[in-house]
């Protein structure tokens, strides 16, 4: 599924994100349809990845359920494998990025000589993919268009993006969620290296929203080869979409002005789909079942689900 164009009873708004199509119902509920679109460097790539939406939505639903004792979440129903219906919250305009290992964006900053990220000091003498002494939080602004930007705790509060008391609570939630995510990953032979969380508020209650511990929002290493690869200075075997970013960089694309997205072959698209399914099966311990649902049935099933809410 590349995109949708539904009209639901009581629909009051529609928003098309990089990956999700979001319908607002009676200004009370949100229908989130996770498409098969894929983005990298904040750019939506031209070809969809088969079953990616189902993978992301089903992992997120399971992880929301597994962390509901830490923080309330927005989910009210998951009527289809790629659809979630939940509460409409006022979204905090910042993503809470938690890093357990020096990898990805943090490593690129470190390798270029940076020893601070989002106001957080980075220890000297680290190698790529090393564990931090303890997990760090490196927030980023949440851009509806264009690039997200790194920002410090002080910048968030001074700019009035989030009240200090709310931000302090978000930090506590984010670190607790990351610890739970690490525990869940360990059971399946994985290391949760980094991830991001998004939160919203309804009344006086903060809710966990969007997706949790998916390959789009997280990076996982295989734990059985981690120590060996670190000692040998080899890249870590990982389950995330970082390999998509690496493939794009190898083909001269980093989302910069004037750069053209390279052609994605059928073989590459299939390999990305296979990697998403692989992560689903590793992190959930369940066999992934591909479901091809006609678009007309999707609209009908969502409408029926809304009637019960």
| pLDDT tens digits along 212-245 | 998 888 999 999 999 999 999 999 988 777 778 8
Higher pLDDT, 40 or 93: 93
CA-nearest of 13, 28, 36 to 295 is: 36
Residue 147 has pLDDT above 60, yes or no: no
| pLDDT, position 276 | 87
| pLDDT, position 143 | 61
Helix (H, G, I), strand (E, B) or coil at 109: helix
d(CA 76, CA 61): 10
d(CA 8, CA 303): 7
- Residues 13-42 have a mean pLDDT of 91
CB neighbour class for 69 (10 Å; exposed up to 12, middle 13-18, buried from 19): exposed
Q: Alpha carbon of 125 to those of 50, 128, 135: distances in Å?
A: 41, 10, 17
CATH class of 91-243: alpha beta
Higher pLDDT, 295 or 105: 105
CA-nearest of 65, 51, 60 to 32 is: 60
d(CA 262, CA 265): 9
d(CA 252, CA 257): 12
| pLDDT, position 255 | 82
For domain 11-89+264-307, give its CATH number from 3.40.50.2300, 3.40.50.150, 3.30.565.10, 3.30.200.20.
Answer: 3.30.200.20
Give me the residue spans of the domains in the chain: 11-89+264-307, 91-243
Residue 145 near residue 178 (C-beta atoms within 8 A): no
**Residue-wise burial string across 160-197, b where 16 or more C-beta atoms lie within 10 A, e elsewhere:** ebbeeebbeebeebbbebbebbbebbeeeebbbbbbbb
Higher pLDDT, 154 or 42: 154
């Amino acid at each position: 599924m590349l995109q949708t164009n539904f009209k639901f009873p009581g629909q009051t708004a529609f928003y098309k994100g990089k990956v999700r199509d979001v319908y607002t119902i009676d200004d009370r509920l949100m229908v989130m349809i996770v498409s098969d679109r894929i983005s990298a460097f904040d750019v939506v790539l031209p070809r969809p990845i088969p079953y990616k939406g189902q993978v992301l939505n089903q992992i997120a639903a399971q992880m929301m359920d597994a962390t509901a004792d830490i923080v309330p979440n927005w989910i009210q129903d998951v009527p289809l494998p790629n659809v979630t219906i939940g509460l409409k919250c006022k979204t905090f305009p910042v993503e809470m990025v938690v890093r357990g290992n020096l990898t990805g964006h943090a490593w690129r900053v470190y390798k270029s000589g940076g020893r601070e990220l989002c106001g957080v000091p980075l220890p000297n003498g680290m190698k790529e993919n090393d564990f931090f002494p303890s997990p760090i939080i490196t927030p980023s602004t949440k851009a509806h268009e264009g690039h997200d930007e790194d920002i410090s705790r002080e910048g968030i509060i001074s700019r009035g993006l989030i009240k200090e008391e709310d931000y302090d609570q978000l930090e506590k939630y984010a670190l607790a969620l990351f610890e739970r995510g690490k525990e869940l990953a360990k059971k399946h032979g994985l290391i949760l290296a980094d991830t991001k969380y998004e939160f919203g508020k309804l009344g006086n209650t903060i809710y966990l929203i969007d997706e949790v511990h998916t390959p789009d929002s997280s990076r996982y290493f295989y734990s059985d080869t981690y120590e060996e690869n670190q000692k040998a200075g080899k890249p870590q075997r990982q389950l995330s979409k970082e390999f998509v970013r690496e493939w794009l960089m190898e083909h001269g694309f980093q989302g910069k002005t004037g750069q053209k997205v390279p052609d994605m072959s059928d073989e590459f698209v299939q390999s990305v789909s296979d990697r998403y399914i692989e992560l689903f099966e590793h992190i959930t311990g369940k066999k992934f079942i591909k479901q091809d649902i006609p678009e007309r049935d999707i609209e009908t099933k969502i409408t029926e689900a809304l009637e019960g809410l």
